[in-house]
Structure 1
């Protein structure tokens, strides 16, 4: 029996994308895409999600790509502008689930930027608990982060359903015994919740 619902935040509840800023920095989209693939890349940003400071991360990048020093600085200075807002419909689903289940968040996020999220979006305060990768030193899909959540809040994986937009994170949760949904959009999420007969969506 499902007793708790675990949400990823970025890509499920909140729309975060560096392109919202860098499309104003680069005149051509292919230049922007190259920069985001090779300089301020997803893998580079994940190291901040894992606990590395932005100061250290940007210092290393600037040594490697001195020609992009100003563009690298933008990633930190204009980070709040990369966070567009709530993903349409998903926060409403969260609020409905809260009526019937405990709800938690398990997110890959920097400990330096997550406070900006908490201060900006009221729904964050409604979680029964949150585990932030940057505070723990592990990132999904490392099973250690999932286990931290389970131990911290005395949860059983077999009594939880996990929702994430990253398929690798979903697969990792299933290996640990979670029920899981690969998030694509809020309409599809409602349908998946109906299929597994989650209260509020039956």
Structure 2
């Protein structure tokens, strides 16, 4: 196995928490009604297109045309995005900052809308510490498509086989491996520490 010289972090659910249910538990208190809304209106497939670069204005207009009775809750998805990202994972952030402080080359690769990532980077300053970030919304490519991994490699001058990717989604981990990277599935900070040590990256 090639020695790891580059470490790439995902952001959502690896470094910062994300859960749309937080504001919508207030906006749609009934659990079954809320589940229906996420399954049929503001779906994951709808939201990922903002990560691919579609504007919120266009996204809202499309849904409101289909579901006019839900217009206010559709607009609330972006309006209350701040509440969906309430805190960082301090233990994961500590690992990333330790890697940076000890001289490792750290970048980030994320499926994120351009404007919401800009907001997150204002709120969470540690997101500005890595050497850089590839944002899906900026380049209109998303994980796990091969193109976004190749873009990141080219943009930051990395060697795929010497690059470790850390992501909470198995399909994104598999996408990185298909692009020739090394990759681990993030579940929690302690498991990440063990994975890093197993791969020869010491944190202490």
User: In the TM superposition, what is the alpha-carbon distance from 1:27 to its structure 2 partner?
Assistant: 2.0
Alignment equivalent of 1:105, drawn from 101, 104, 108: 108
Distance 1:33 1:89 in 2: 31
Q: Which structure has more strand as a fraction of its residues?
A: 1
Any residues of structure 2 matched to 1:55-74 within 5 Å, and which?
Answer: 55-74=57-76
Partner SS state of residue 134, structure 2: strand
Distance 1:186 1:199 in 2: 14
Segments of structure 2 that go 5 or more residues without pairing to the other structure are: none
Partner SS state of residue 26, structure 2: coil
Distance 1:15 1:174 in 2: 25
Give the match for residue 31 of structure 1: 33
Distance 2:110 2:197 in 1: 24
Distance 1:27 1:96 in 2: 41
Alignment equivalent of 1:4, drawn from 3, 6, 20: 6
Give the match for residue 173 of structure 1: 176
Give the match for residue 89 of structure 1: 91
Distance 2:22 2:188 in 1: 20
Partner SS state of residue 165, structure 2: strand
Alignment equivalent of 2:134, drawn from 125, 131, 134: 131
Give the match for residue 183 of structure 1: 186
Give the match for residue 162 of structure 2: 159
Asked whether the 8 Å contact 2:95–2:203 carries over to 1, the reply is no
Any residues of structure 2 matched to 1:113-124 within 5 Å, and which?
Answer: 113-124=116-127
User: In the TM superposition, what is the alpha-carbon distance from 1:28 to its structure 2 partner?
Assistant: 1.2
Count of aligned pairs between the two proteins: 201
Relative to the length of structure 2, the TM-score reads: 0.96
Asked whether the 8 Å contact 1:48–1:110 carries over to 2, the reply is yes
User: In the TM superposition, what is the alpha-carbon distance from 1:179 to its structure 2 partner?
Assistant: 1.0
User: In the TM superposition, what is the alpha-carbon distance from 1:194 to its structure 2 partner?
Assistant: 1.6
Partner SS state of residue 164, structure 2: strand
Relative to the length of structure 1, the TM-score reads: 0.97
Distance 2:83 2:59 in 1: 19
Give the match for residue 201 of structure 2: 198
Give the match for residue 40 of structure 1: 42
User: In the TM superposition, what is the alpha-carbon distance from 1:88 to its structure 2 partner?
Assistant: 3.8
Partner SS state of residue 5, structure 1: strand
User: In the TM superposition, what is the alpha-carbon distance from 1:100 to its structure 2 partner?
Assistant: 3.2
